[in-house]
Amino acid sequence: MSLVKETGLARGLKIKRQLVKIHGITGNVMEAKGKVDLGIGETSLHEFMLVSDLPMKCDILLGQDWLERFGYQFQIPELGINLPAYSETLVRIPTTEKGSRLLEAEELEENVFCSSGVVECVDNSFICLVINCNPTDKTLRKFPRTQELPKLSGKFVDAKGRVSCPESSTASKIAISACKRRRTRT
């Protein structure tokens, strides 16, 4: 159920007056004064229950009715992540790792694959592309694992034939000093 605070409405909106008691998940009871049709952003009109106050000092609370109607989903990784049939889905994967990590492509379940790439692990998660090649929806319960980025050493040649050397903490000290000596000679 989606809720809107009465003071957050623009004047002139048509309100369908109707008193309704709303029982929240915490056991609290709120009284709705009526219903009003609102559009948010580019969405079509949706019916909101009109209340005098909302928690967290907000003016509007998008309920599951609005989220489902306009295609939003909340996924709880511990319960599995829903993957629609024949879909490519960006999935937030839980992790304890931090920073840039390597993700190798793998088959997570039969005909369910994750893409490879370098991912950024932030706030105990990273985002990766998961492809469900099955004709039915699947629930992803096996998550891909990341690994350390490979150690780099040596030299790299760009498209114009210029030589450069990595100067990151992952490059070997020998390669860096060799590159610096080469630069001073040119």
Same domain, 81 and 142: yes
Same domain, 135 and 171: no
Do 80 and 65 meet the contact criterion of CB atoms below 8 Å apart?
no
Same domain, 63 and 19: yes
Q: Residue 17 carries which side chain, given as an amino acid letter? A: R
Among 47, 48, 52, 1, smallest CA distance to 22 is for: 1
Same domain, 50 and 95: no
Same domain, 65 and 89: no
Same domain, 44 and 82: no
Same domain, 108 and 47: no
Name, in order, each residue with C-beta under 8 angstroms of 70's C-beta and a sequence gap of 6 or more: 43, 46
Number of independent structural domains in the chain: 3
Same domain, 166 and 105: no
Same domain, 87 and 60: no
Same domain, 178 and 139: no
pLDDT in tens, the chain (186 residues): 888 887 767 676 777 777 778 777 677 777 888 888 888 877 788 888 888 887 777 888 888 788 777 766 666 666 778 889 999 988 888 889 999 999 999 999 999 999 999 999 988 889 999 999 999 999 988 899 999 988 766 677 777 877 776 554 444 445 445 555 555 554
- Phi and psi torsions of 185, nearest 5°: -80, -25
Ranges of beta strands (E only) in the chain are 3-5, 15-23, 29-38, 46-51, 60-61, 81-83, 87-94, 99-103, 106-109, 112-114, 117-121, 125-132, 138-140, 146-147, 156-157, 163-164
Range of the domain at 164: 156-185
